[in-house]
Structure 1
Amino acid sequence: MTGEFKLEAPFRRAEPKDCLRIAELFNIAGAGVPEYVWTNLADEYPGLSPLEIGEQRYLREDIAFSFRNTVVAEIDGKVVGILIAFPIESEDEPSQSELAETEPESDTPDVMRPFHELEIPGSYYICGVALSPEHRGRGLGTGFMEIARNTARNEGLKTLSLIAFEQNPRAVKLYEKLGFDIVDSRPLVPHPLIQYTGKALLMAAKV
Protein backbone atom coordinates (compact mmCIF):
# COMPACT_ATOMS: atom_id res chain seq x y z
CA MET A 1 0.00 0.00 0.00
CA THR A 2 1.57 3.25 -1.15
CA GLY A 3 1.08 6.59 0.57
CA GLU A 4 1.98 4.89 3.84
CA PHE A 5 1.97 6.56 7.24
CA LYS A 6 2.29 5.25 10.77
CA LEU A 7 -0.64 3.14 11.96
CA GLU A 8 -1.77 2.83 15.55
CA ALA A 9 -3.02 -0.38 17.20
CA PRO A 10 -5.07 -2.36 16.50
CA PHE A 11 -4.24 -1.51 12.86
CA ARG A 12 -1.07 -2.65 11.11
CA ARG A 13 0.24 -3.42 7.63
CA ALA A 14 -0.53 -6.93 6.45
CA GLU A 15 2.20 -9.56 6.24
CA PRO A 16 2.46 -12.78 4.21
CA LYS A 17 1.38 -14.82 7.25
CA ASP A 18 -2.00 -13.03 7.14
CA CYS A 19 -2.95 -14.09 3.62
CA LEU A 20 -5.31 -16.97 4.47
CA ARG A 21 -7.18 -14.77 6.93
CA ILE A 22 -7.28 -11.97 4.34
CA ALA A 23 -8.91 -14.39 1.90
CA GLU A 24 -11.48 -15.46 4.49
CA LEU A 25 -12.48 -11.92 5.35
CA PHE A 26 -12.35 -10.62 1.78
CA ASN A 27 -14.81 -13.32 0.74
CA ILE A 28 -17.17 -11.93 3.41
CA ALA A 29 -16.72 -8.39 2.07
CA GLY A 30 -17.28 -9.60 -1.48
CA ALA A 31 -20.39 -11.63 -0.62
CA GLY A 32 -19.00 -14.72 -2.33
CA VAL A 33 -17.66 -13.03 -5.46
CA PRO A 34 -14.04 -13.83 -4.49
CA GLU A 35 -14.94 -17.50 -3.96
CA TYR A 36 -16.48 -17.52 -7.44
CA VAL A 37 -13.20 -16.20 -8.88
CA TRP A 38 -11.03 -18.60 -6.90
CA THR A 39 -13.22 -21.58 -7.81
CA ASN A 40 -12.70 -20.74 -11.47
CA LEU A 41 -8.94 -20.83 -10.91
CA ALA A 42 -8.98 -24.36 -9.47
CA ASP A 43 -7.22 -25.89 -12.49
CA GLU A 44 -4.21 -23.66 -11.80
CA TYR A 45 -4.04 -24.76 -8.15
CA PRO A 46 -4.78 -28.51 -8.02
CA GLY A 47 -5.66 -29.84 -4.60
CA LEU A 48 -6.29 -26.45 -3.01
CA SER A 49 -9.61 -25.20 -1.63
CA PRO A 50 -10.97 -21.85 -2.89
CA LEU A 51 -9.75 -20.09 0.26
CA GLU A 52 -6.30 -21.64 -0.12
CA ILE A 53 -6.25 -20.40 -3.70
CA GLY A 54 -7.16 -16.96 -2.39
CA GLU A 55 -4.27 -17.20 0.05
CA GLN A 56 -1.85 -17.96 -2.79
CA ARG A 57 -3.20 -15.04 -4.81
CA TYR A 58 -2.70 -12.60 -1.94
CA LEU A 59 0.86 -13.80 -1.41
CA ARG A 60 1.80 -12.33 -4.78
CA GLU A 61 3.35 -8.88 -4.83
CA ASP A 62 2.90 -7.88 -8.48
CA ILE A 63 -0.86 -7.29 -8.52
CA ALA A 64 -3.23 -4.91 -6.78
CA PHE A 65 -4.96 -7.72 -4.87
CA SER A 66 -1.95 -8.35 -2.63
CA PHE A 67 -1.15 -8.32 1.06
CA ARG A 68 0.97 -5.27 0.23
CA ASN A 69 -2.23 -3.28 -0.39
CA THR A 70 -3.89 -4.52 2.80
CA VAL A 71 -4.21 -3.18 6.33
CA VAL A 72 -5.43 -5.50 9.09
CA ALA A 73 -6.93 -4.98 12.53
CA GLU A 74 -5.39 -7.39 15.05
CA ILE A 75 -6.90 -7.93 18.49
CA ASP A 76 -5.58 -10.47 21.00
CA GLY A 77 -3.29 -11.92 18.35
CA LYS A 78 -6.04 -12.54 15.80
CA VAL A 79 -6.77 -10.65 12.59
CA VAL A 80 -10.39 -9.50 12.95
CA GLY A 81 -10.66 -7.06 10.07
CA ILE A 82 -9.12 -6.03 6.76
CA LEU A 83 -8.95 -3.09 4.39
CA ILE A 84 -7.83 -3.76 0.81
CA ALA A 85 -7.37 -0.58 -1.22
CA PHE A 86 -5.23 0.84 -4.02
CA PRO A 87 -5.22 3.73 -6.50
CA ILE A 88 -6.68 3.65 -9.98
CA GLU A 89 -4.28 6.28 -11.20
CA SER A 90 -5.64 7.34 -14.59
CA GLU A 91 -7.37 6.13 -17.71
CA ASP A 92 -3.92 5.32 -19.10
CA GLU A 93 -3.14 2.96 -16.22
CA PRO A 94 -4.38 -0.65 -15.97
CA SER A 95 -7.86 -0.83 -14.49
CA GLN A 96 -8.43 -2.40 -11.09
CA SER A 97 -10.00 -5.38 -12.81
CA GLU A 98 -6.96 -5.85 -15.03
CA LEU A 99 -4.73 -5.66 -11.96
CA ALA A 100 -6.86 -8.10 -10.03
CA GLU A 101 -7.95 -11.70 -10.21
CA THR A 102 -9.94 -12.00 -13.41
CA GLU A 103 -9.36 -12.24 -17.12
CA PRO A 104 -9.03 -9.26 -19.49
CA GLU A 105 -12.31 -7.57 -20.31
CA SER A 106 -12.78 -9.33 -23.65
CA ASP A 107 -12.81 -12.64 -21.78
CA THR A 108 -14.69 -11.41 -18.71
CA PRO A 109 -17.42 -13.81 -17.52
CA ASP A 110 -20.84 -12.19 -17.36
CA VAL A 111 -20.83 -12.60 -13.56
CA MET A 112 -17.78 -10.33 -13.26
CA ARG A 113 -18.65 -7.75 -15.91
CA PRO A 114 -20.51 -5.35 -13.55
CA PHE A 115 -17.41 -5.07 -11.36
CA HIS A 116 -15.14 -4.43 -14.35
CA GLU A 117 -17.40 -1.65 -15.60
CA LEU A 118 -17.79 0.19 -12.29
CA GLU A 119 -14.62 2.14 -11.59
CA ILE A 120 -13.44 5.74 -11.42
CA PRO A 121 -10.02 6.47 -12.96
CA GLY A 122 -7.98 8.74 -10.71
CA SER A 123 -9.65 7.49 -7.53
CA TYR A 124 -8.41 5.54 -4.53
CA TYR A 125 -10.38 2.31 -4.80
CA ILE A 126 -11.54 0.67 -1.57
CA CYS A 127 -11.76 -2.88 -2.80
CA GLY A 128 -12.94 -4.41 0.44
CA VAL A 129 -13.54 -3.71 4.12
CA ALA A 130 -14.52 -6.67 6.30
CA LEU A 131 -14.79 -7.40 10.00
CA SER A 132 -15.47 -10.61 11.86
CA PRO A 133 -19.07 -10.50 13.18
CA GLU A 134 -18.10 -10.25 16.85
CA HIS A 135 -16.00 -7.13 16.19
CA ARG A 136 -18.55 -5.09 14.28
CA GLY A 137 -20.01 -1.93 15.75
CA ARG A 138 -16.79 -1.04 17.57
CA GLY A 139 -15.53 1.68 15.26
CA LEU A 140 -13.05 -0.50 13.37
CA GLY A 141 -14.83 -0.04 10.05
CA THR A 142 -14.78 3.73 10.45
CA GLY A 143 -11.10 3.47 11.38
CA PHE A 144 -10.37 1.58 8.17
CA MET A 145 -12.17 4.22 6.13
CA GLU A 146 -10.09 6.95 7.77
CA ILE A 147 -6.93 5.02 6.88
CA ALA A 148 -8.11 4.84 3.26
CA ARG A 149 -8.88 8.56 3.23
CA ASN A 150 -5.50 9.47 4.74
CA THR A 151 -3.66 7.20 2.30
CA ALA A 152 -5.47 8.77 -0.66
CA ARG A 153 -4.66 12.23 0.67
CA ASN A 154 -0.98 11.31 1.00
CA GLU A 155 -0.98 10.17 -2.62
CA GLY A 156 -2.56 13.39 -3.83
CA LEU A 157 -5.80 11.70 -4.89
CA LYS A 158 -9.06 13.60 -4.50
CA THR A 159 -11.67 10.85 -4.74
CA LEU A 160 -12.44 7.61 -2.91
CA SER A 161 -14.43 4.92 -4.68
CA LEU A 162 -15.93 1.57 -3.74
CA ILE A 163 -18.57 -0.92 -4.86
CA ALA A 164 -21.46 -1.77 -2.55
CA PHE A 165 -24.42 -4.11 -2.92
CA GLU A 166 -27.94 -2.74 -3.20
CA GLN A 167 -29.21 -5.62 -1.06
CA ASN A 168 -26.86 -4.67 1.79
CA PRO A 169 -28.57 -1.41 2.86
CA ARG A 170 -26.75 -1.31 6.19
CA ALA A 171 -23.41 -0.97 4.42
CA VAL A 172 -24.81 1.53 1.91
CA LYS A 173 -26.14 3.72 4.73
CA LEU A 174 -22.80 3.58 6.53
CA TYR A 175 -20.96 4.67 3.39
CA GLU A 176 -23.46 7.49 2.86
CA LYS A 177 -22.87 8.61 6.44
CA LEU A 178 -19.16 8.72 5.64
CA GLY A 179 -19.79 11.01 2.67
CA PHE A 180 -20.20 8.55 -0.19
CA ASP A 181 -22.82 8.98 -2.91
CA ILE A 182 -24.07 6.46 -5.47
CA VAL A 183 -22.73 7.56 -8.86
CA ASP A 184 -23.41 4.52 -11.06
CA SER A 185 -24.77 0.99 -10.90
CA ARG A 186 -24.98 -2.27 -12.81
CA PRO A 187 -27.32 -5.26 -12.38
CA LEU A 188 -25.65 -8.27 -10.81
CA VAL A 189 -25.66 -11.57 -12.66
CA PRO A 190 -27.08 -14.19 -10.24
CA HIS A 191 -24.80 -17.08 -9.29
CA PRO A 192 -25.15 -19.71 -6.51
CA LEU A 193 -21.90 -18.62 -4.84
CA ILE A 194 -22.84 -14.93 -4.73
CA GLN A 195 -24.94 -13.83 -1.78
CA TYR A 196 -26.74 -10.89 -3.37
CA THR A 197 -28.77 -10.15 -6.48
CA GLY A 198 -30.09 -6.69 -7.37
CA LYS A 199 -27.49 -4.09 -8.29
CA ALA A 200 -23.83 -3.40 -7.69
CA LEU A 201 -23.50 0.26 -6.68
CA LEU A 202 -20.48 2.41 -7.49
CA MET A 203 -20.07 4.94 -4.69
CA ALA A 204 -17.67 7.87 -4.46
CA ALA A 205 -16.61 10.44 -1.88
CA LYS A 206 -14.27 13.40 -1.79
CA VAL A 207 -11.04 12.87 0.11
Structure 2
Amino acid sequence: MISPELNMRLAGEDDVPAVAHILNVVSEGVIEHLLTGVVPGMGPEKLLQMVLMRGQGAYDLKNIVLFEVRGTLAGLLFSYDASLQKVPAVMEGFIAKAKLDPVRPLLEAAYPEALWINTFWVADEFRGQGLSRLMMSMAEDMARDSGKKALALHCWADNARAIRFYEKAGFVKAGATPSGGPLLERHPAGGELWVKPVAGTK
Protein backbone atom coordinates (compact mmCIF):
# COMPACT_ATOMS: atom_id res chain seq x y z
CA MET A 1 0.00 0.00 0.00
CA ILE A 2 1.29 3.47 -0.95
CA SER A 3 2.77 5.42 1.95
CA PRO A 4 0.99 8.53 3.20
CA GLU A 5 4.39 10.15 2.73
CA LEU A 6 3.83 10.21 -1.04
CA ASN A 7 4.71 13.58 -2.57
CA MET A 8 3.81 14.73 -6.11
CA ARG A 9 5.55 17.62 -7.84
CA LEU A 10 6.59 18.92 -11.24
CA ALA A 11 10.10 18.07 -12.38
CA GLY A 12 12.68 20.83 -11.99
CA GLU A 13 16.07 21.53 -13.51
CA ASP A 14 17.83 19.54 -10.78
CA ASP A 15 15.80 16.47 -11.78
CA VAL A 16 16.84 16.55 -15.44
CA PRO A 17 19.64 13.92 -15.25
CA ALA A 18 17.35 11.40 -13.50
CA VAL A 19 14.43 12.20 -15.82
CA ALA A 20 16.58 11.80 -18.93
CA HIS A 21 17.82 8.42 -17.69
CA ILE A 22 14.28 7.16 -17.03
CA LEU A 23 13.01 8.37 -20.42
CA ASN A 24 15.94 6.65 -22.12
CA VAL A 25 15.35 3.33 -20.34
CA VAL A 26 11.58 3.35 -20.86
CA SER A 27 11.91 4.22 -24.56
CA GLU A 28 13.50 0.78 -25.06
CA GLY A 29 15.89 1.83 -27.80
CA VAL A 30 14.15 4.86 -29.32
CA ILE A 31 16.30 7.54 -27.69
CA GLU A 32 19.49 5.53 -28.16
CA HIS A 33 18.65 5.13 -31.87
CA LEU A 34 17.94 8.82 -32.33
CA LEU A 35 20.65 10.46 -30.25
CA THR A 36 23.67 8.13 -30.28
CA GLY A 37 26.50 9.62 -32.28
CA VAL A 38 24.71 12.87 -33.06
CA VAL A 39 27.34 14.91 -31.21
CA PRO A 40 30.80 13.30 -30.92
CA GLY A 41 31.67 12.53 -27.32
CA MET A 42 28.16 13.21 -26.03
CA GLY A 43 25.88 10.31 -25.15
CA PRO A 44 22.13 10.14 -25.81
CA GLU A 45 21.10 10.94 -22.22
CA LYS A 46 23.27 14.06 -22.14
CA LEU A 47 21.68 15.28 -25.37
CA LEU A 48 18.22 14.52 -24.01
CA GLN A 49 19.07 16.60 -20.96
CA MET A 50 19.77 19.53 -23.28
CA VAL A 51 16.40 19.05 -24.99
CA LEU A 52 14.60 19.01 -21.64
CA MET A 53 16.42 22.09 -20.42
CA ARG A 54 15.40 23.99 -23.55
CA GLY A 55 11.79 22.97 -23.00
CA GLN A 56 10.58 23.07 -26.58
CA GLY A 57 7.21 21.62 -27.57
CA ALA A 58 6.11 18.64 -25.52
CA TYR A 59 9.57 18.17 -23.99
CA ASP A 60 8.99 20.70 -21.24
CA LEU A 61 9.55 19.97 -17.56
CA LYS A 62 6.08 21.30 -16.76
CA ASN A 63 4.71 18.18 -18.50
CA ILE A 64 6.56 15.81 -16.16
CA VAL A 65 5.13 14.91 -12.74
CA LEU A 66 7.37 13.12 -10.26
CA PHE A 67 6.10 10.92 -7.43
CA GLU A 68 8.31 10.54 -4.37
CA VAL A 69 7.96 8.33 -1.30
CA ARG A 70 10.04 9.42 1.70
CA GLY A 71 12.27 11.41 -0.64
CA THR A 72 12.86 8.51 -3.05
CA LEU A 73 11.78 8.85 -6.67
CA ALA A 74 9.03 6.25 -7.10
CA GLY A 75 7.20 7.21 -10.28
CA LEU A 76 7.19 9.51 -13.29
CA LEU A 77 4.31 10.61 -15.52
CA PHE A 78 5.21 12.49 -18.71
CA SER A 79 2.07 13.60 -20.56
CA TYR A 80 0.80 16.40 -22.80
CA ASP A 81 -1.83 17.39 -25.35
CA ALA A 82 -1.73 14.82 -28.17
CA SER A 83 -1.48 17.69 -30.68
CA LEU A 84 2.11 18.12 -29.43
CA GLN A 85 2.97 14.50 -30.23
CA LYS A 86 5.49 15.18 -32.96
CA VAL A 87 9.23 15.26 -33.49
CA PRO A 88 10.53 18.29 -31.52
CA ALA A 89 11.83 21.07 -33.74
CA VAL A 90 15.17 20.93 -31.96
CA MET A 91 15.52 17.25 -32.96
CA GLU A 92 14.54 17.97 -36.57
CA GLY A 93 17.39 20.45 -36.59
CA PHE A 94 20.24 18.19 -35.56
CA ILE A 95 19.17 14.57 -36.24
CA ALA A 96 19.69 13.18 -39.73
CA LYS A 97 16.56 12.48 -41.76
CA ALA A 98 17.80 8.92 -42.30
CA LYS A 99 17.63 8.37 -38.54
CA LEU A 100 14.30 10.08 -38.01
CA ASP A 101 12.25 8.65 -40.84
CA PRO A 102 12.29 4.96 -39.74
CA VAL A 103 10.78 5.93 -36.37
CA ARG A 104 8.73 8.96 -37.40
CA PRO A 105 5.40 7.03 -37.36
CA LEU A 106 6.08 6.07 -33.75
CA LEU A 107 7.20 9.57 -32.73
CA GLU A 108 4.14 11.12 -34.36
CA ALA A 109 1.60 8.52 -33.22
CA ALA A 110 -1.33 10.34 -31.64
CA TYR A 111 -5.07 10.27 -31.02
CA PRO A 112 -7.48 13.20 -31.46
CA GLU A 113 -8.59 15.13 -28.38
CA ALA A 114 -6.45 13.00 -26.08
CA LEU A 115 -3.89 13.49 -23.35
CA TRP A 116 -0.84 11.66 -24.67
CA ILE A 117 1.14 9.63 -22.13
CA ASN A 118 4.72 9.66 -23.38
CA THR A 119 6.25 7.93 -20.36
CA PHE A 120 4.62 6.04 -17.48
CA TRP A 121 7.23 4.68 -15.08
CA VAL A 122 7.18 3.16 -11.59
CA ALA A 123 10.37 2.10 -9.80
CA ASP A 124 10.66 -1.65 -9.25
CA GLU A 125 10.51 -1.40 -5.46
CA PHE A 126 7.19 0.47 -5.60
CA ARG A 127 5.36 -1.81 -8.02
CA GLY A 128 2.36 -3.73 -6.75
CA GLN A 129 1.57 -1.13 -4.09
CA GLY A 130 -1.09 0.86 -5.88
CA LEU A 131 1.12 3.65 -7.23
CA SER A 132 0.50 2.73 -10.86
CA ARG A 133 -3.27 2.95 -10.35
CA LEU A 134 -2.92 6.26 -8.54
CA MET A 135 -0.77 7.69 -11.35
CA MET A 136 -3.18 6.54 -14.03
CA SER A 137 -6.09 8.01 -12.08
CA MET A 138 -4.21 11.29 -11.91
CA ALA A 139 -3.61 11.19 -15.66
CA GLU A 140 -7.32 10.69 -16.21
CA ASP A 141 -8.10 13.65 -13.94
CA MET A 142 -5.61 15.77 -15.88
CA ALA A 143 -7.26 14.78 -19.15
CA ARG A 144 -10.72 15.53 -17.79
CA ASP A 145 -9.66 18.89 -16.37
CA SER A 146 -8.22 19.93 -19.72
CA GLY A 147 -11.31 18.81 -21.65
CA LYS A 148 -9.67 15.81 -23.31
CA LYS A 149 -11.86 12.86 -24.27
CA ALA A 150 -9.26 10.12 -23.89
CA LEU A 151 -5.88 8.99 -22.67
CA ALA A 152 -3.61 7.58 -25.38
CA LEU A 153 -0.17 6.00 -25.43
CA HIS A 154 2.24 3.82 -27.36
CA CYS A 155 3.27 0.39 -26.08
CA TRP A 156 5.57 -2.17 -27.65
CA ALA A 157 3.58 -5.25 -28.64
CA ASP A 158 6.08 -7.49 -26.84
CA ASN A 159 5.67 -5.70 -23.49
CA ALA A 160 3.19 -8.16 -22.00
CA ARG A 161 3.36 -6.82 -18.44
CA ALA A 162 2.54 -3.26 -19.51
CA ILE A 163 -0.27 -4.44 -21.78
CA ARG A 164 -1.87 -6.38 -18.91
CA PHE A 165 -1.81 -3.24 -16.79
CA TYR A 166 -3.30 -1.06 -19.53
CA GLU A 167 -6.06 -3.57 -20.18
CA LYS A 168 -6.95 -3.67 -16.47
CA ALA A 169 -6.93 0.14 -16.45
CA GLY A 170 -9.55 0.20 -19.22
CA PHE A 171 -7.40 0.81 -22.29
CA VAL A 172 -8.19 -0.82 -25.63
CA LYS A 173 -5.89 -1.33 -28.59
CA ALA A 174 -6.68 1.22 -31.30
CA GLY A 175 -4.08 0.51 -33.96
CA ALA A 176 -0.44 -0.14 -34.77
CA THR A 177 2.55 2.18 -34.61
CA PRO A 178 5.08 0.85 -37.12
CA SER A 179 8.80 1.33 -36.66
CA GLY A 180 11.85 0.54 -38.72
CA GLY A 181 15.62 0.37 -38.59
CA PRO A 182 17.28 -1.08 -35.48
CA LEU A 183 14.05 -0.75 -33.51
CA LEU A 184 12.37 -3.31 -35.73
CA GLU A 185 15.15 -5.75 -34.86
CA ARG A 186 14.67 -5.08 -31.15
CA HIS A 187 10.86 -5.11 -31.33
CA PRO A 188 9.92 -7.27 -34.36
CA ALA A 189 6.22 -7.24 -33.39
CA GLY A 190 6.22 -3.43 -33.60
CA GLY A 191 4.24 -1.07 -31.43
CA GLU A 192 0.59 -0.49 -30.63
CA LEU A 193 -1.64 2.49 -29.91
CA TRP A 194 -3.72 2.09 -26.73
CA VAL A 195 -6.62 4.38 -25.84
CA LYS A 196 -8.86 4.86 -22.81
CA PRO A 197 -12.00 7.05 -23.01
CA VAL A 198 -12.22 9.59 -20.20
CA ALA A 199 -15.53 9.62 -18.37
CA GLY A 200 -17.17 12.93 -17.56
CA THR A 201 -16.03 14.87 -20.64
CA LYS A 202 -18.25 16.17 -23.42
Q: TM-score range by the shorter chain?
A: 0.7 to 0.9
Which letter maps to 2:140?
A: R
Matched residues in 2 for 1:167 and 1:100: separation? 30
Question: Per the alignment, do residues 136 and 32 of structure 1 end up closer, same or farther by CA in structure 2, a change over 3 Å counting?
Answer: farther
Task: Give the match for residue 119 of structure 1.
Answer: 110
Alignment of 1:30-69 (within 5 A): 30-39=27-36, 42-43=38-39, 46-69=40-63
The CA distance in 1 between the partners of 2:164 and 2:29, in whole Å, is 21
1: distance between equivalents of 2:15 and 2:158?
A: 29
How many Å apart are 1:117 and its aligned residue? Answer: 4.9
What amino acid does structure 2 have at the position aligned with 1:19?
V
Cα distance change of structure 1 residues 166 and 193 upon mapping to structure 2, 3 Å threshold: closer
Matches within 5 A, 1:34-183: 34-39=31-36, 42-43=38-39, 46-89=40-83, 95-99=84-88, 102-103=91-92, 107=97, 109-183=100-174
Displacement of 1:100 in angstroms is 6.9
Contact 1:35 1:193 in 2 (8 A): no
1:55-101 deviation per Cα after TM superposition (whole angstroms, max 9, x unaligned) = 22112223211211000112332323211000124xxxxx4113476
Task: Pick from 169, 185, 191 the counterpart of residue 182 of structure 2.
Answer: 191
Structure 1 letter corresponding to 2:92: E
Paired position in structure 1 for 2:7: 10
Identity of aligned residues (%): 29
Q: Counterpart of 2:36 in 1: which secondary structure?
A: helix
Matched residue type, 2:87: E
Q: CA RMSD in A?
A: 2.6
CA-CA distance at 1:190 after TM superposition? 4.8
Give the conservation status (yes or no) of the 8 Å contact 1:118–1:185. Answer: no
Amino acid at match of 1:57: V
Q: Is the 8 A contact 2:10 2:65 kept in 1?
A: yes
Moved more, 76-85 or 118-127: 76-85
Provide the rounded CA distance (Å) in 2 between the counterparts of 1:49 and 1:116: 20
TM superposition shift of 1:145: 1.1
Report the residue type matching 1:59 in the other structure: M
| Count of aligned residue pairs for this structure pair | 191
1:27 aligns with 2:24: yes
1:162: how far off? 0.3
Q: Hey, what's the Cα distance between the residues in 1 that align with 2:120 and 2:29?
A: 14
Cα deviation digits, residues 157-188 of structure 1 (max 9, x gap): 11111001110011011111111111110343
Unaligned runs of 5+ in 2: none
Runs of 5+ consecutive residues of structure 1 not aligned to the other structure: 1-7, 90-94
* Matches of 2:134 and 2:90, distance apart in 1: 27
Mark the CA change 1:100 to 1:122 in structure 2 (over 3 Å): closer, same or farther.
farther
Partner of 1:3: none
